[in-house]
A and B are shown apart, each in its own frame.
Chain A
Amino acid sequence: MKVFVKRGEALQEFEVPRHPSQTVLDVVTYIQRALDPTLAYRFACRVGMCGSCAMTVNGAPRWTCRTHVDRVLKDETLEIGPLRNLPVIRDLVTDMRGFFDKWERAGGHFEGARTRHDDFARVSPASREREAADAGIECIGCGVCYAACDVVSWNPDYLGPAALNRAWTLMSDVRDTQHAQRLRAVAGDAGCHACHTHMSCTERCPKHISPTAGIAGLKRAVAKAAMKGDL
């Protein structure tokens, strides 16, 4: 099959043998090992756990290790490029620093009040808050949602679906002590209010998380806080 790989501005064509049960990551690996050793790409676990291998395949952001060639091949052709909305370091490798900076700016880390000397916090798994948190905590920061999001392309300051989803899981964590500060971090046109419910994030997330639902939760929480004068 023909494989076109985006390298900088150019599209380089390779002829790659087809195999049964072949993933897009297998294809990229073959190209780098057998055809062009200068091709730069990222992967780690190759079994769908780490999220490092995310790339744009025939226009859509995907985990290449979990994408079978059969599923995406169009007219015996594959087009592979780096993830959208991120600066490209080289070839298929993007700079994820901005992505994680936004994670931090959205208040994406946990801060508790207990120490090792205190008893465990008691959180019922069936409580509404815990179910909301559980729906979003499996995120591994792969960047697929961020690449899929049109608003991220249109608004460079937008924190993005992953960062806001993480903020929502922490808002839903009853042990966290930074709820008020986090709401302030996610409000505004760089935050949850910039989401226009395209739901590309939810459609593409390989962990079946719905950042849209989390962002909606943030919108409601921010509005409530504003009306109480707490924002």
Chain B
Amino acid sequence: MSKYYALVHRVSGLALAAFLPVHFWALGHGLEMDGFLRWTEQPLVKLAEWGLVVLLAAHLGGGLRVLAIEFLDGHEWQKSLAALAGALMVAAGLAFALAL
């Protein structure tokens, strides 16, 4: 059901909006980066980071679906792009998982 793509898009957007100020603030303290990078080695942090990459990919995929519906004609596009959105989510998550 299409509305779940829209709800995932919304919830992932909310999560990202909550995360980004923290992300920016942490990066703004770049001088402490070694300590910060060591902290990021912790498994819970890695799990959170993987979660964030998935959220970002989910939001991007959902966003591409919205752009497709609003700017392209034809129902087939919506379905194929929704599928592509899903694939992107998985791909990004995997890529990041491999990097962990």
Contacts and interface: CB of A to CB of B under 8 A. Distances in A.
Interface of A: 150, 196-200, 202-203, 210, 212-213, 216, 219-220
A193 to B, nearest CB: 11
B70 A199 contact: no
B10 A196 contact: yes
16 contacts: A150-B3, A196-B10, A198-B3, A198-B6, A199-B2, A199-B78, A200-B1, A200-B3, A202-B2, A203-B1, A212-B69, A213-B69, A216-B70, A216-B71, A220-B70, A220-B71
Given A196-B6, A197-B2, A210-B75, 8 more contacts: A150-B3, A197-B6, A198-B6, A199-B78, A200-B3, A202-B2, A212-B69, A220-B70
Contacts, number: 35
A227 to B, nearest CB: 15
Interface residues on B, range: 10 to 19
Contact of B70 (A150, A203, A210, A219): A219
Interface string B66-78: 1001110101001
B83 to A, nearest CB: 15
Interface of B: 1-3, 6-7, 10, 65-66, 69-71, 73, 75, 78
Task: Give the top 8 A-B pairs by smallest Cβ distance, nearest first.
Answer: A198-B3, A199-B2, A216-B70, A198-B6, A197-B69, A196-B6, A200-B3, A197-B66
Contacts of B69: 197, 199, 212-213, 216
B75 A213 contact: yes
Contacts of B10: 196
Contacts of A200: 1-3
How would you classify the secondary structure of chain B's contact residues: helix, strand, loop or mixed? Answer: helix
A197 B6 CA distance: 7
From A196, A199, A216, residue with most partner B Cβ within 10 Å: A199
B7 to A, nearest CB: 8
Nearest to B72: A216
B75 A197 contact: no
Nearest to B9: A196
Nearest to B82: A199
Nearest to B74: A213
B70 A198 contact: no
B67 to A, nearest CB: 10
A145 B10 CA distance: 21
A203 B3 CA distance: 10
A213 B7 CA distance: 19
Contacts of B2: 197-200, 202-203
Contacts of A202: 2
Contacts of A150: 3
A196 B71 CA distance: 14
Nearest to B7: A198
Contacts of B65: 197
B70 A197 contact: yes
